[in-house]
Copies of this chain bind each other. A is one copy, B any other.
């Protein structure tokens, strides 16, 4: 039987105390997913991200970006100009992560109709 310490060392997302759990939460958070997706196309500034990601609040966008930056998935470059100009882009690590996220969303966008069409599909 594998010990908890071993599972954490392995990066097991099923272990609550494993750091991978937190990173997974950031990446797959409601806005984290969309931020990664949008940054995958190109660098965006804060306000551009906000406009692109329909429904996100300034507060949540800022928080999400900070978390992803803390996980070394997103790079933040602030230009010391007036008015301020801050560019967000993916790190190499972030591009790998975002690629996986994009696979998921691509699959979803293609298959939404199968889900909505199914008789199990009840809204919630």
Contacts and interface: CB of A to CB of B under 8 A. Distances in A.
B16 A71 contact: no
A30 interface: yes
A32 B104 CA distance: 14
Binding site secondary structure of chain A: helix
Interface size class of A (residues with CB under 8 A): 35 or more
Interface string A52-84: 111100000000001101111100000000000
A27 B104 contact: yes
- A12, A91, A93, A115: most-surrounded residue (chain B CB, <10 A): A115
A72 B96 CA distance: 29
A38 B13 CA distance: 11
